[in-house]
Structures are given as structure tokens and as C-alpha cells.
Amino acid sequence: MRIAVSACLLGHACRYDGGSKPHAGVIEALATHETLPVCPEVEGGLPIPHPACEIIADNPLLVRDAKGEDATDPFVKGAEKTLEAINDFGCELAILKAKSPSCGTGKIYDGSFTGTLRDGWGVAAALIRDAGIPCIDETQIDDLLN
């Protein structure tokens, strides 16, 4: 199976803070599949590091960074480029980083920069989901393995 995966879960240092989030279960699960590492925020042109960003509102979409600057455009551009790459590669599944404003699948931070979660999807994850590609996050990887 061809699977897209958030690059930070493979250990790529592409997070906003310059770090990564390698996940042993994800790396193990992908060992026998063709994988496409993706990072929508890098694709959107955001530098590493950059200030933390959160989705302030879904409709119309508004993403701001912790300094209050509008970051919507790079998030949208990054999501579109990521979906294009996923389609080009023929991915049938995406394993994405939980809670990210780009990659979160079902729970994201609420825009208050207080660590509070709400129901919602990251910008790229929502676009990938709406294109009909199943999305899970790293917390669901055990289900995939079993």
C-alpha cells in the first residue's frame, strides 16, 4: 500500500520548533509499505523554526501564529501542495500527526494558545479527508498493526 505520513513522525526535524516527533509504531508499520513523507507547513513555505500557529476559525478559515500574525495563506498553500503530492503518488491512506493545525485528525488546539483542544481538523488533513483518502493519526497505529 502507498501511504502518506507526516514527516515529523518519521523523525524529520520539520516541526515549528525545529524538532521532530519520531513514532516507533508508525515507523514499524510503514516498513513494509511505500511511503510518502509530507510536511504541509514546509510545503507552504513556512520557515523552520516559526512561531506556533493555531486555527482561530474554520469558516472562513483563519490561522494565526502566537504573535497574532495571519498565517492562513501558507497553511492553505501547503495543504494544496500536499494533496497534489499525495494524489501524484497514489496514496490510499494518510498517517498524520495528531493535534497539529495542519495535520490533526479530529482534535486540534482551539486557537487560544492555552493548550486547549477542540473537535476539528488541521487544514491539510481536512483537504486530504475531503479528497476521499482515509486519515488516521499516530494514536491509532496499533489498530492498523493488529
**What span, in angstroms and rounded, lies between the C-alpha atoms of 27 and 10?**
6
- At residue 30, what are phi and psi to the nearest 5 degrees? -90, -5
At 139, list the grid cell. 494514536
At 72, list the grid cell. 492562513
**What span, in angstroms and rounded, lies between the C-alpha atoms of 115 and 44?**
24
41 binds ligand SF4 (CB under 6 A): yes
4 binds ligand SF4 (CB under 6 A): no
97 binds ligand SF4 (CB under 6 A): yes
**What span, in angstroms and rounded, lies between the C-alpha atoms of 41 and 125?**
12
> Maximum distance among all alpha carbons in the chain?
43
In the complex with ligand SF4, the residue whose CB is nearer, 26 or 56, is 26
In the complex with ligand SF4, the residue whose CB is nearer, 6 or 35, is 6
> Contacting ligand SF4 (CB under 6 A), which of 14, 71, 95, 141?
14
> Contacting ligand SF4 (CB under 6 A), which of 3, 83, 95, 103?
103
> Contacting ligand SF4 (CB under 6 A), which of 3, 8, 36, 53?
8
Enumerate binding residues for ligand SF4 (CB under 6 A).
Answer: 6-8, 14-15, 39-41, 97, 100, 102-103
